[in-house]
Amino acid sequence: MFTLTSSQALSGTGVTFEGVTIQGAKEIYKGYHHTKYVTFKDCQINDMIFLYSPTNFENCVFNSTAEHCVWTYSADEAIFKNCEFTYVDRAINVYGEHAVIAIDVLFENCKFNTENQLSLGAVEINSGMPNTISATVRMNNCTAPQFGEMAFIPRWDSSNGAKT
């Protein structure tokens, strides 16, 4: 098992994790900083992870008791293929900060699960940051959660979804 930290030891590299468990964090900003890209294949990811570079997830299982499973944060691209998300509040926060001006997120053959009847939804899209020009979210052949919306614009998005 790999425990997620805020280390910059992987700065400037591309990283691939295959067949491992990643112990994420319950607090924000934990992820692989300054990497060129990160790929997760056949991994289990527990709690929350922040993305700092283009990231691909393939055949991954997310289990989170944190606020989200993933924040796109400063990654301009995130791809989720054949992934399953089990979450308490929301699965993904599509959110750009710092130098991210356009965010592109793809979900393909993904399944979203929550038992929280008060969940707002699976994919929160917040394109209201001042430097964000656009947030594009594509969903192909995904299974919606029992509670909440598949994707939604939160009330704290200052653009009210205009950039989505």
pLDDT digits (tens, 9 = 90+) for 93-133: 998 776 677 889 999 999 999 999 999 899 988 876 666 67
E strand residue ranges, the chain: 2-3, 14-18, 21-23, 37-41, 44-46, 49-50, 55-58, 61-63, 70-71, 77-81, 84-86, 92-95, 102-108, 111-113, 121-126, 134-140, 149-152
pTM: 0.92
